[in-house]
Amino acid sequence: MMHQVSRMFVNKLHVCKFCFRFLPRISCSKRLSTQTSSAEIEDESNLERTTDNFTSSLYDDHIQTSLLQKALLTIGSSILSITDPYRHDMVAVLGETTGYVAAKQIRDKMLQDPEGSSILRDKPRINSDTLDYQFLESLPQGSLGHAYMDFLKDNNVTPDTRRPVHFVDDPELAYVVQRYREVHDLNHTLLGMPTNMLGEVAVKWVEAMQTGLPMCVAGALLGPVRFRKKAKRKISEVLSSMVCKLWISGQFSDECIF
- Residue 113 labelled as part of a binding site: no
- Residue 188 labelled as part of a binding site: yes
Q: Which residues of 210-232 are buried (b: 16+ CB within 10 A; e: fewer)?
A: bbbbbbbbbbbeebbeebeeeee
- Residue 84 labelled as part of a binding site: no
- Residue 184 labelled as part of a binding site: yes
Distance between CA atoms of residues 97 and 108, nearest Å: 19
Write out the DSSP string of the chain: -HHHHHHHHSTTPEE--SPP--HHHHHHHHHHHTT--HHHHHHHHHHHHHS-SHHHHHHTS-EE--HHHHHHHHHHHHHHHHH-TT-HHHHHHHHHHH-HHHHHHHHHHHHTSHHHHHHHHH----STTT--HHHHHHSPTTSHHHHHHHHHHHTT--GGGSPPP-S--SHHHHHHHHHHHHTHHHHHHHHT--SSHHHHHHHHHHHHHHH--HHHHHHHHHGGGG--HHHHHHHHHHHHHHHHHHHHHT---HHHH-
Residue 176, amino acid: V
CA-based nearest residue to 210, from 251, 162, 181, 244:
251
Task: Name the binding residues.
Answer: 184-185, 188, 200
Task: Name the binding residues for Zn(2+).
Answer: 184-185, 188, 200
